[in-house]
Amino acid sequence: MSDRKPTTCMRCAVGCGYLQAESADDGRLVDVSGDPDHPATAGRNCQRGVSETVDPGAERLTRPLIRRGGSLRPTDWDTALGVVTTRLIEAIREDPDNVAVLGSGQQTNEAAYALGKVARGAVGTRHYDANTTLCMASAVAAYAQAFGSDAPPPTYDDIPAADTHVVWGANPAVAHPVLHSWIENSAAAGDGELIVVDPVETRTAADADRHVRPEPGTDLALARAVLARVVDTGAVDDRFVDRHTEGYAATVESLPSVADAAATADVSPERVREIADALVADSLIYWGMGVNQSVQGTGTARALIDLCLATGNMGPGSGPFSLTGQANSMGNRVCASKRTWPGYRPFDDSAARRDVADAWDVPLGRLPDAPGPGFVRIVDELARDNVDVCWTVATNPVAGMPDAGHVEHALDDAFLIVQDAFRSDTVELADVVLPAATWGESEGTTTNMERRVSRVTAATDPPGEARQDLDVIAAIGNRIHSGLFDEPPLDPATTFDEIRDLTAGTTADLSGISYERLADELAVRWPAPTADAEGGYRYYDDGEWSFRTPSGRARFSTGTHCEVPEPVDGEYPLTLTTGRADGVYNTGVRTGDDGGALPTARIHPETIARHLAAFDRGETVIGSRRSEVRVAVSPNDDVPPGMVWLPIHYGAINELTLSAVDPDSTEPNLKQCAVRISAPDRPERRDYEPVASE
């Protein structure tokens, strides 16, 4: 076994530091363990991150493929890149917006930056985004609106310092096990408390001191009920509100009564009181996809921030802390030129645009003047035949997007370039496949959810002819715009130096972070404007507050609850929600073939009894207005009556879901849609009439 090399886990956004080693015999990655010297996680790790790094179960892509005669056939890199760039250049000549580019939170900072450089600087398209919009865009929009800048104020250092931990619409026990252990330990210490807000009895909820179960889609109403209770009881931190916020009076004026808002959420006023009273102590409010993936995601995230502002839960040991899903969602937001230019430079700022054009040596007029319609609406443009060519990198939209049948048809009609490490649902539709390196084979950096930048290193070479994402992107970029990059293979440190230069002096300043510094310190939080600086609690410096808004004050909001986009009715009487299953992440590609097993739906026994004719030998069919899927059934009282829970890791599940999006963030409403259940097709089966709405 070779010497162990430090790296960072790319499974989720906790950013655990790892040590990895390859076999001395065959060059395989054979051992991964926690790095006790890593400043973020100090040796902690989850077994799933280790196992998915050492031995992913999926089929690797090892040679370029090109579609001939209806099937994907091996080809060489020159042919594949020639076909790709020819089609891209033809589309650009017609209109830069005739090209769509879809990136990923699984890319390194360097690869994400390079993809944005190609999409915005070489192609010049508005139709560019990353799959991070599917999970984090509502939190991003809320932070920007409230504080004038993206990213949570707290860090991991604040978790043990907090007394109350409110986990709202998230299940870190499954999605972020290491972080969950910190929360659990802090809540168990002294007079600490863990409150979970979730319609489902998740593993995190099972560990909680209190579990509050609102009606799906009513989180904003419940958050407003809690704030109304805080106001009614005089528990507002008037000093903080007066000195450091604006818009409070309008927020109070917009609040419903506690009783009315609690009734909307189907939560008792007593439960509202318990949450409000708990916020008197130093509190962290965490939230995840249960909040973000909603047409009211931004409004709800703003309401949770309002709770922190009103109760003075801002500062060390407290505050609003969104839980990021994908490993490098944060780095994608800082580096990739999606909604902002590198360093969170505003997209419409003329000086920022000039700086970017000069740094990339591209015409200023080529840079698009708007960031584009977002991931979901880009696919809609593909479906309308307004975009002819689509290039996906390290993402699987056919399985991971809402209304997946619509997505499949849209991508099938386009010229589809898929760059990935593994065979996926999206690869099956590709016209050209570009094989890429994965964890343990890639060089670069990543940024975890508390803003720490750390190295990603290669212990082994990628298999076959697979190449680093950064090199593939640069090769394509140079063929579109000569000299955009050095000739591949690139030194990722040189690319990171470009990022450092473009972020210097910005909100997300990385200029003081270098590969040499990371070799010594392993991980450094931004903003880091100098070689010895590191970011701490955001907007707070030695007791002084300064937010990135024009007034320097944090902003309250006035959002109010509205009806879910697809309410249940007589034809579709049940509510579908989705969540992560143990041992699987994202679309489940790395965990390999499920052997054809049906996804398992969790359904309350009372619901099963009311719809008994729809079940046959432990199976049923879940149908929405868009599709239907056959499932195995697990009677489970963790799920409330009237709800169906399904895992997100099967492509067929998202054929059921709804493509309605939040108007501020364009994040889709993946957590709620109306469904019905019916018996699977069997010989001599009779049809059943829909059951009335519950």
The domain locations on the chain are: 5-54, 65-131+328-485, 135-322, 574-678
CA 339/CA 377 separation, integer angstroms: 14
- Residue 685 binned pLDDT confidence (cut-offs 50, 70, 90): very low
What values do phi and psi take at 389, rounded to 5? -125, 135
Residue 107 CB-density burial (10 A; 0-12 exposed, 13-18 middle, 19+ buried): buried
Tell me yes or no: is domain 65-131+328-485 CATH 3.40.47.10. Answer: no
pTM: 0.95
Single-letter code of the amino acid located at 545:
W
> Strand, coil or helix: what is 141?
helix
Residue 74, both tokens: 């091996």
> Residue 56: what pLDDT?
82
pLDDT at 2: 65
Reported as a pLDDT band with limits 50, 70 and 90, residue 586 is low
> Using an 8 Å Cβ cutoff, are 503 and 116 in contact?
no
Question: Residue 1: is its pLDDT beyond 80?
Answer: no
Q: What pLDDT is recorded for position 54?
A: 81
pLDDT higher than 60, residue 497? yes
pLDDT computed for residue 591 by the predictor: 66
CA distance 267 to 222: 8
Q: What is the pLDDT of residue 48?
A: 78
The set of residues, in sequence order, having a beta carbon less than 8 Å from that of 630 and lying 6+ positions away, is: 598, 619, 620, 621, 680
pLDDT tens digits along 254-287: 999 999 999 999 999 999 999 999 999 999 999 9
Q: What is the CATH number of domain 574-678?
A: 2.40.40.20
- Looking at CATH, the fold of the domain delimited by 135-322 is given as Dimethylsulfoxide Reductase; domain 2 (3.40.228)
pLDDT of residue 681: 86
The tens digit of pLDDT for each residue in 521-569 reads 999 999 999 999 999 999 999 889 999 999 999 999 999 999 999 999 9
Give bridge partners of residue 634 from the DSSP assignment: 602
Domain 5-54 class, CATH top level = alpha beta
The pLDDT, as a whole number, for residue 583 is 63
Given phi > 0 = left and psi -120 to 50 = alpha, else beta, which region is 36? alpha
Q: Shortest CA distance to 329 belongs to which of 12, 670, 648? A: 12
SS3 243: helix
690 or 57, which is more confident? 57
Mean pLDDT rounded to a whole number for the chain: 94
Q: Residue 3 — very low, low, confident or very high, per pLDDT cuts 50/70/90?
A: confident
Q: Does residue 692 register a pLDDT over 70? A: no
Q: Are strands 432-435 and 65-68 parallel, antiparallel or unpaired?
A: antiparallel
Which single residue is written with the structure tokens 């299953």? 581
Instruction: Read off the pLDDT band of 694 (50, 70, 90).
Output: very low
Torsion of CA 267, 271, 277, 279, to 10 degrees: -60
d(CA 436, CA 104): 13
